[in-house]
Structure 1
Amino acid sequence: MPTPRETILTALHARLSTLPATVLRGEVLPERVPADGLLILRDGDPDDPEVTLSPLAYHYQHRTEIEAVVQGADRDAAFDALCASVGTALAADRTLGGLCDWIEAEAPRPVDLPVEGAASLKAAVIPVVLHYSTADPLS
Structure 2
Amino acid sequence: MPTPRETILAALHARLSALPATALRGDALPERVPPAGMLILRDGEPGEPEVTLSPLRYHYQHRAEIEAVVQGGNRDAAFDTLCASIGAALATDRTLGGLCDWDEAEAPRPVDLPVEGAASLKAAVIPVVLHYFTADPLT
Provide the TM-score with structure 1 as the length reference.
1.00
Aligned residues: 139
Q: Is 1:132 aligned to 2:125, yes or no? A: no
> 1:62 offset after TM fit, Å?
0.1
**Which residue is equivalent to 1:99?**
99
Question: CA RMSD of the aligned region, Å?
Answer: 0.3
> 1:25 offset after TM fit, Å?
0.1
> 1:136 offset after TM fit, Å?
0.3
CA deviation vs aligned residue, 1:89-131 (integer Å, no higher than 9, x gap) = 0000000010000000000000000001110000000000000
**Which residue is equivalent to 2:85?**
85
State the SS of the aligned residue for 2:39.
Answer: strand
> 1:54 offset after TM fit, Å?
0.3
State the SS of the aligned residue for 1:98.
Answer: coil
Mapping for residues 1-139 of structure 1, pairs under 5 Å = 1-139=1-139
State the SS of the aligned residue for 1:120.
Answer: strand
Any gaps of 5 or more consecutive residues in structure 2? none
CA deviation vs aligned residue, 1:20-75 (integer Å, no higher than 9, x gap) = 00000000000000111000000000011000000000000000000000000100
Q: Distance in 1 between matches of 2:41 and 2:68?
A: 9
Q: Distance in 1 between matches of 2:75 and 2:2?
A: 38
Q: Distance in 2 between matches of 1:47 and 1:28?
A: 24
CA deviation vs aligned residue, 1:8-30 (integer Å, no higher than 9, x gap) = 00000000100000000000000
Q: Distance in 1 between matches of 2:125 and 2:72?
A: 19
How high is the sequence identity, in percent, across the aligned residues? 84
